[in-house]
Amino acid sequence: MVGEVVDRLYRTRNASDAELKLLIGLEDPSLLREAALSRRLEWYGRKVFIRGLIEFTNHCRNNCYYCGIRAGNVSLGRYRLAPETIMELVRDGYRLGFRTFVLQGGEDNGYSDEGICSIVSSIKKEYPDCAVTLSIGEKDHGSYRAYFDAGADRYLLRHETASQEHYSSLHPSRMSLENRKACLWDLKRIGYQVGSGFMVGSPGQTPDNLVEDLRFLQELQPDMIGIGPFVPAANTPFATKKAGSVDTTLNLISILRLMFPYSLIPSTTSLGTIAPAGLEKGLEAGANVIMPELTPPDEARLYSLYDNKPVSAGALMITDGSLRERIRAIGYDIVTARGDVAVPKRP
């Protein structure tokens, strides 16, 4: 039964809702992993793309119930990196082999569109061979357009959950799933490589919600798909909730690799935070991207999306070679490349 479902997902990139739920909950995922690995090798070989993550501001106007940098967390010290500091991090990152930089932050009203555009265009001017990815939340069309015209190549905006009801249990009423989805479509139309995704095991999530997430991704056909377990964060309404399941996350990574074989899927920091060797496990489940953090330690500590998030381990581990070694030990290779999405082809 499982073998047949996996095989069909492999060949047709689709399965029924009930079959998807079966795969999501698999306790012995060996067949699923094997199929995902085969697709991964076919599309991306043993390459692992690296993205230099620069968490440039933890100011946020939103109040997502799960997120440690929500506006309501008044006990958190706030920071903004100066444009010159960001440029220095990019220069260090370039020397280490990074060819994609991800500028991520809260929805910070302290930056004008001109401010963001100027950071993006300075990076592109000095390093035209690099891709710049933005991950700064929901903006209007004019802003997205302006960042794109300034040179931004990619945009990450997880939909978080594709169920209306579940979305409203994770966010205050001024935020809507409808607007988040509209932003994703807008970004696609403008021409960005677009990333979406969701948290696994966020409070109240059901298996049906996860199927809805996969169905929404089938509609959107994103280039990048980021998922990671929910991890509780201090000073949030969900501080005492249970973390999401590592096994479910890994099964979902394999399912995503089969449904979207061409896509860029990171083995995320939250996975690495709650699972021993989580980074490696994500890659072995079908992920092909890692996003080491270049943010300086003092600020990284304050970019506390959830508890026990590691601090600037990424860049350090690249510098001393230990990250490359860890990846090599499981048979994969960090490459120096922009790592654009493979051109989607039909099954």
Nearer Cβ to ligand SAH (66/111): 66
DSSP calls for 271-339: HHHHSTTHHHHHHHHT--EE--B-S-HHHHHH--SSTT---SHHHHHHHTSHHHHHHHHTT-EEE-S--
Q: Any idea what the Cα angle at residue 154 is, between residues 130 and 90, rounded to 5°?
A: 35
Q: Is 305 in the site for ligand SAH (CB under 6 A)?
A: yes
* Interface stretch with ligand SAH, choices 94-102, 121-129, 133-141, 205-213 (CB under 6 A): 133-141
- Judged by CB under 6 A, the residue of 52, 137, 261, 292 near ligand SAH is 137
Q: Is 65 in the site for ligand SAH (CB under 6 A)?
A: no
Q: Is 216 in the site for ligand SAH (CB under 6 A)?
A: no
Q: How far is the CB of 68 from ligand SAH (least distance, A)?
A: 6
Q: Which two tokens stand for residue 301?
A: 């500590």
Q: Closest Cα partner for 196 from 231, 168, 160?
A: 160
Q: Is 158 in the site for ligand SAH (CB under 6 A)?
A: yes
Q: Is 231 in the site for ligand SAH (CB under 6 A)?
A: yes
The H or E element that residue 55 is part of is strand 52-57
Tell me whether residue 339 is exposed, middle or buried, using C-beta atoms within 10 angstroms of its C-beta: 0 to 12, 13 to 18, 19 or more. buried
- The SS3 call for residue 117 is helix
User: Measured between alpha carbons, how far is 107 from 213 in angstroms, rounded to an integer?
Assistant: 23
Q: How far is the CB of 137 from ligand SAH (least distance, A)?
A: 3
Q: How far is CA 116 from CA 70, 147, 280, 324, in A?
A: 21, 7, 34, 32
85 φ, ψ (degrees, to nearest 5): -65, -45
Beta carbons of 24 and 251 less than 8 angstroms apart:
yes
Nearer Cβ to ligand SAH (33/154): 154
- Judged by CB under 6 A, the residue of 29, 93, 106, 296 near ligand SAH is 106
- Judged by CB under 6 A, the residue of 155, 216, 306, 332 near ligand SAH is 306
Nearer Cβ to ligand SAH (197/296): 197
Q: Is 245 in the site for ligand SAH (CB under 6 A)?
A: no
Q: How far is the CB of 337 from ligand SAH (least distance, A)?
A: 24
Q: How far is the CB of 292 from ligand SAH (least distance, A)?
A: 15
Q: How many CB atoms lie within 10 A of CB 121?
A: 16
Q: How far is the CB of 42 from ligand SAH (least distance, A)?
A: 29
- Judged by CB under 6 A, the residue of 67, 184, 285, 300 near ligand SAH is 67
User: Measured between alpha carbons, how far is 206 from 191 in angstroms, rounded to an integer?
Assistant: 33
254 φ, ψ (degrees, to nearest 5): -65, -40
Nearer Cβ to ligand SAH (179/336): 179
- Judged by CB under 6 A, the residue of 157, 252, 283, 323 near ligand SAH is 157
Q: Closest Cα partner for 10 from 28, 44, 37?
A: 37
Nearer Cβ to ligand SAH (39/309): 309
Which strands sit side by side in the sheet containing 52-57, from one edge to the other?
52-57, 100-105, 131-135, 154-156, 193-200, 224-229
Nearer Cβ to ligand SAH (136/211): 136
Q: Is 258 in the site for ligand SAH (CB under 6 A)?
A: no
Q: Is 230 in the site for ligand SAH (CB under 6 A)?
A: yes
CB-side neighbour CA atoms (13 Å) of 115: 15
Nearer Cβ to ligand SAH (66/144): 66
- Judged by CB under 6 A, the residue of 104, 248, 249, 304 near ligand SAH is 104
Contact residues toward ligand SAH (CB under 6 A) are 66-67, 104, 106-107, 135-137, 157-158, 160, 199, 228, 230-231, 233, 270, 305-306
